Amino acid sequence: MKLSHLRAMVAIAEHGSINAAARELCVTQPAITRTMRELEADVGVALINRNSWGITFTEHGERLLKRARLIVYEFERTVDDMAELRGVAAGTLRVGVSPLAGMTLLPQAYMLFRKFMPEVRVEFLEWSVTHLLDNLRTSRLDFALAALPQPPTDSFISSTEILRAPTAFATRCDSQFAKATSFAELQDAEWWHADATDAFPQFLSEVFARHGLPPPSRITRCTSNLLTSGIVLQTDVIVPLSRFALAASPVPMLTALALPIDPPDIRLMLMTRESAMLSRPAEYFVQCIQEAGVLPTQPLNALLQPAAGAAPLAKS
């Protein structure tokens, strides 16, 4: 088993076909096919299924792919680290983000980072929390910054709370529910949320029960931010939204409802793979994020509460 074998396997998984993997690796399609056959011969089992509609991985292939990704991505970081020691200020930094993270600390942190590391290639990848965690485990991401109601319960992920953002139930300004001040007025409303678990529907049911009301009959889960944005701006649905996002809009189209109970605060979590060795660019970007979290350079930061113990790191 060679590194070239694993690279080919990862490229096929990332790009969805042998032809696309060949283009990514700058080799021919027959070369990738030959490499995969060599790998299958080495391990003694079939790793991929070749279908008329594309390539899929067998059960054995999926298992090997997890380790292949970890090996390939860590090897790439090792190469970058050695280059950095020789004075070559380059390499690639991959940062996973959730939408709120992109609206809060990252722009300011990125400006700080670029002042000292202008040559490093940076990739920001916006994914769902599940996808972020999956790619942290395989080391595809150097780290991730995500807005979560609770820290992830994953033994392979290390997380640090950077900021806490207060939230509100929101609807569009001209919604029939825009002036509601009680949950009784919202019994006929539709509630949208992006929580992949059942935590939000349970929270909402408990809130209604606390006010002597039956649980809402229409609760819709949607993990697509673009679809949610379109629905919220065109219908009267109600969504939990950070007050930062509400205040950041240059043209107010949504309004926070004056209800007796708000949704739980959103925690901005910095997440890395447990025991991961961060590259120097990754370490410095993390430092910039922590500094951005405590420097009051924008009025909107008044809406954010720095997590206990969050403080800037000393520059190296």
The set of residues, in sequence order, having a beta carbon less than 8 Å from that of 180 and lying 6+ positions away, is 186, 257, 258, 259
pLDDT at res. 250: 60
Query: Does 316 score more than 80 pLDDT?
Result: no
Reported pTM: 0.68
pLDDT at res. 303: 38
Answer CATH for 167-264 from 3.30.930.10, 3.40.190.10, 3.30.420.40, 3.40.1160.10: 3.40.190.10
Task: Give the dihedral of Cα atoms 187, 181, 100, 244; nearest 10 deg.
Answer: 170
Sketch the domain layout of the chain as residue ranges.
Answer: 3-77, 89-165+267-306, 167-264
The set of residues, in sequence order, having a beta carbon less than 8 Å from that of 186 and lying 6+ positions away, is 177, 180, 216, 238
**pLDDT tens column, 132-185:** 988 898 888 999 998 887 788 888 888 888 888 889 999 999 999 999 999 999
SS3 category, 197: coil
Q: Does domain 89-165+267-306 have CATH number 3.40.190.10?
A: yes
pLDDT at res. 309: 45
Q: Residue for token digits 């708000």?
A: 262
Do 89-165+267-306 and 167-264 share a fold?
A: yes
64: tokens are 């090997």
pLDDT at res. 294: 57
Pairing of strands 143-148, 92-97: parallel
- 126 touches 102 (CB < 8 A): yes
**pLDDT tens column, 72-89:** 888 887 887 787 777 666
- 76 touches 92 (CB < 8 A): yes
Per CATH, the number for 3-77 is 1.10.10.10
> Residue 295, class by beta-carbon neighbours within 10 Å (0-12 exposed, 13-18 middle, 19+ buried)?
middle
Inter-CA distances, 61 with 14, 51, 67, Å: 14, 15, 10
SS3 category, 238: strand
